[in-house]
């Protein structure tokens, strides 16, 4: 049984039973406890950093939430072993973080009724009730909500470009795919760094069709995000015209020397070095990478600009969206035995989404880990970074809803990243199959994806023709792809 559940990640264990029984005047409709009664909460949290946070922030959280926290920090490297031990002992926690909600064993657990379905409860909690509707939809199973999502930005994708190179060549910020191509050409042919040498090129990319340039360029072309749905019929992105248009766009860049020719075997570190060392002037990926690209630059006078909107051939602006989550916090009925216990847990999650608690868990203590500015802004001095990393950053493992109450004004690039990430939500293209489950995809998805990825790279570097690419797509269909399509279409019908 241990192997079936290796994907589960225990983050919180709430020991509530006896405490709830002794809470006088508890509000059973919302799970709010009497202000005089402290609730003891035992938690198992995943430690993604070298050391657990110091007690100071924990004590402040306890004060604000009227709790006594007993947190066991489990190093990330051994989290699965700890989980297996808990499963072998038959001791599931009251709050479980499930990262891969499409794992077959997890799906079976949800469908068998092992976890509480919370869709009818969240309306009673002001912060939970304001959760992003698209992300909530993305984490549903057969249209039912079995947990509180662990929020992540829906889209952080965009372009980082050398603003100083644009200025040197009297070029405007690109607004269309054609503009972007011409900038890549100019960065290659017109000596943008003015050193008199032929030593620069346009786009630097890596061996990643998702978080590298390809998928983002594809969304600019109008390519669907993973799947296209039309009247209940599902088509994978690589069967669309826009996918081939994206391959042709990148092939043309590579053939003409406007990007690194070896991008299919280039790592992310190597990709970023090409930019930071002044060899390339365009980077497409996570917009926050602009900070590292600048900080690691050999030329400290480098000026960067971040772009999140590029018009496609039809004049529309789009960008692909992720699921917007890193799994869910779910609540097994074997350990959360009553609605009263469930409501108290939901009330806790609602409370830590309030500005005072969220800010403490995210930014830290004002004057110690950051400095609050005017309005909804803050700055962090270099001398405060280390304490924030050790005292506060590990607490992110306990956060569900990302409220982002404050904006960092200490770094213009980071401010731009945050603003453009927020703006991306206005132009996102979501995956219609995000909340759907296919057993065939779960079993063979990685294998089949590699088949298409390999064909995509081979086409872009000229090793195969379009007809040969089409044959690989046919092979995908006969190797299990048709079954995936059928299962997604059947699952989609059940949601209607």
The count of other CB atoms within 10 Å of the CB of residue 267 is 11
User: For the segment 247-286, what is each residue's pLDDT rounded down to a tens digit?
Assistant: 999 999 999 999 999 999 999 999 999 999 999 999 999 9
Q: Which residue has the higher pLDDT, 101 or 204?
A: 204
* CA distance to 268, 293, 294, per residue, from 59 (Å): 40, 37, 37
**How many Cβ atoms are within 10 Å of 196's Cβ, its own excluded?**
7
Half-sphere exposure of 118 (CA within 13 A, CB side): 35
pLDDT at 303 over 80: yes
∠ CA 384-388-350, rounded to 5°: 135
Helix (H) or strand (E) holding 391: helix 382-391
Q: 391 Cβ partners below 8 Å, 6+ apart?
A: 53, 54, 56, 57, 364, 368, 369
As given in the structure block, the two tokens for residue 317 are 């602006």
Per-residue DSSP letter, 190:
S
Tell me the per-residue pLDDT of 24-72, one tens digit each, with 9 for 90 and over.
Answer: 333 434 444 445 578 777 767 777 788 888 888 889 988 998 888 877 7
Structure tokens of 356? 């005072």
| Interatomic CA distance for residues 223 and 5, integer angstroms | 35
183 close to 247: Cβ distance less than 8 angstroms: no
Among the residue ranges 75-84, 196-205, 214-223, the one predicted with the least confidence is: 75-84
Tokens 């269309």 sit at which residue? 176
3-state SS string over 352-376? CCCHHHHHHHHCCCECCCEEECCCC
pLDDT in tens, 140-159: 999 999 999 999 999 999 99
Note the pLDDT of residue 415: 92
The confidence score (pLDDT) of residue 336 equals 87
HSE-up of residue 398 (Cα within 13 Å, Cβ side)? 35
Pull the structure tokens for residue 352. 């830590």
Mean per-residue pLDDT for 226-239?
A: 98
- Name the token pair of 316: 């529309």
**Residue pLDDT, tens place only, 365-399:** 999 999 999 999 999 999 999 999 999 999 998 89
Phi, psi (degrees; rounded to nearest 5) at 125: -125, 115
Tell me which residue of 459, 452, 454 sits closest to 250, measured CA to CA.
459
Please state, rounded to an integer, the average pLDDT across all residues of the chain: 89
Q: What percent of the chain has pLDDT over 70?
A: 90
pLDDT over 70 (residue 86): no
Angle between helical axes of 55-65 and 339-351 (0-180°, round to 10): 120
Cα distances (Å, whole numbers) of residue 134 to 71, 126, 153: 32, 18, 12
**Residues 6 or more apart whose Cβ sits within 8 Å of residue 474:** none
Tokens, residue 184: 């890549």
Higher pLDDT, 47 or 297: 297
Q: Is the pLDDT of residue 417 over 80?
A: yes
304-340 per-position pLDDT tens digit: 999 999 999 999 999 999 999 988 988 889 888 899 9
pLDDT band at 3 (very low <50, low <70, confident <90, very high): very low
Give the Cα separation of 96 and 491 in Å (integer): 26
Q: What would the two tokens of residue 475 be?
A: 């092979």
Phi and psi of 181, rounded to 5°?
-65, -45
* Per-residue pLDDT at 261: 98
Q: Is the dihedral of CA 439, 440, 443, 448 positive or negative?
A: negative
Helix (H) or strand (E) holding 84: helix 79-88
Residue bearing tokens 């004057």: 367
Q: Could you tell me how far CA 5 lies from the centroid of its own chain?
A: 23
Strands 157-162 and 304-307: antiparallel
pLDDT of residue 90: 58
Q: What is the pLDDT of residue 36?
A: 59
- Give the mean model confidence (pLDDT) for residues 278-303: 97
CA distances from 159 to 65, 195, 203 (A): 41, 25, 10
Tokens, residue 372: 């609050």
d(CA 477, CA 452): 11
CA distance 419 to 322: 18
The dihedral region occupied by 380, where left means phi > 0, alpha psi between -120 and 50, and beta the remainder, is beta
Q: Distance between CA 348 and CA 368 in Å, rounded?
A: 26
Between residues 28 and 362, the one the model is more confident about: 362
Max CA-CA distance within the chain?
79
The helix (H) or strand (E) run that includes residue 349 is helix 339-351
Question: Quick one: what percent of the chain has pLDDT higher than 90?
Answer: 72
Q: Label residues 327-363 b or e (16+ Cβ within 10 Å = b).
A: bbbbbbeebbeeebbbbbbbbbbbbbbeeebbbbbbb
Crossing angle for the helix pair 241-255 and 439-460, to the nearest 10 degrees = 40
What is the phi/psi pair of residue 40, to 5°?
-85, 125
CA nearest neighbour of 294 among 388, 187, 411: 411
What is the CB neighbour count within 10 angstroms for residue 273?
Answer: 17
Return the H-helix or E-strand segment holding 104.
helix 104-111
């Amino acid at each position: 049984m241990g192997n079936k559940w290796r994907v589960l990640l225990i983050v919180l264990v709430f020991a509530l039973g006896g405490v709830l029984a002794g809470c006088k005047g508890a509000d059973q409709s919302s799970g709010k406890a009497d202000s005089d009664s402290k609730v003891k909460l035992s938690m198992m949290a995943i430690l993604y950093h070298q050391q657990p946070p110091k007690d100071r922030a924990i004590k402040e959280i306890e004060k604000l939430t009227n709790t006594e926290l007993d947190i066991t920090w489990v190093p990330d490297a051994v989290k699965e072993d700890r989980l297996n031990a808990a499963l072998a002992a038959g001791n599931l926690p009251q709050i479980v973080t499930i990262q891969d909600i499409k794992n077959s064993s997890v799906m079976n657990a949800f469908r068998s009724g092992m976890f509480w379905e919370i869709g009818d409860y969240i309306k009673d909690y002001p912060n939970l009730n304001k959760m992003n509707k698209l992300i909530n939809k993305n984490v549903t199973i057969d249209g039912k909500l079995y947990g509180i999502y662990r929020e992540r930005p829906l889209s952080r994708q965009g372009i980082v470009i050398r603003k100083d190179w644009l200025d040197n060549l009297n070029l405007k910020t690109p607004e269309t795919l054609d503009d972007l191509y011409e900038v890549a050409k100019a960065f290659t042919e017109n000596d943008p760094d003015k050193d008199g040498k032929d030593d620069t090129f346009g786009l630097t990319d890596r061996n990643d069709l998702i978080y590298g340039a390809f998928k983002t360029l594809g969304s600019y072309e109008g390519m669907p995000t993973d799947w296209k749905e039309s009247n209940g019929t599902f088509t994978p992105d690589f069967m669309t015209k826009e996918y081939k248009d994206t391959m042709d766009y990148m092939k043309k860049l590579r053939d003409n020397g406007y990007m690194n020719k070896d991008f299919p075997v280039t790592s992310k570190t190597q990709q970023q070095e090409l930019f930071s060392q002044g060899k390339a002037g365009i980077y497409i990926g996570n917009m926050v990478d602009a900070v590292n690209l600048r900080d690691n630059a050999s030329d400290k006078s480098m000026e960067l600009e971040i772009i999140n909107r590029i018009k496609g051939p039809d004049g529309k602006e789009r960008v692909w969206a992720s699921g917007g989550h890193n799994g869910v916090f779910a609540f097994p009925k074997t350990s959360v035995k009553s609605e009263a216990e469930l409501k108290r847990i939901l009330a806790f999650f609602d409370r830590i989404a309030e500005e005072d608690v969220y800010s403490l868990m995210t930014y830290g203590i004002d004057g110690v880990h950051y400095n609050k500015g005017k309005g909804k802004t803050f700055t962090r001095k270099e001398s405060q970074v280390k304490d924030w990393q050790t005292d506060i950053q590990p607490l992110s493992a306990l956060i569900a809803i990302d409220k982002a109450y404050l904006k960092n004004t200490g770094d213009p690039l980071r401010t731009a990243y945050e603003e453009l990430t927020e703006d991306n939500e206005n132009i996102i293209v979501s995956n219609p199959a995000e909340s759907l489950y296919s057993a065939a995809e779960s079993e063979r998805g990685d294998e089949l994806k590699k088949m298409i990825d390999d064909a995509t790279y081979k086409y872009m570097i000229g090793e195969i023709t379009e007809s040969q690419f089409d044959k690989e797509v046919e092979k995908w269909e006969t190797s299990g792809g048709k079954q995936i399509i059928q299962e997604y279409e059947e699952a989609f019908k059940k949601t209607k």
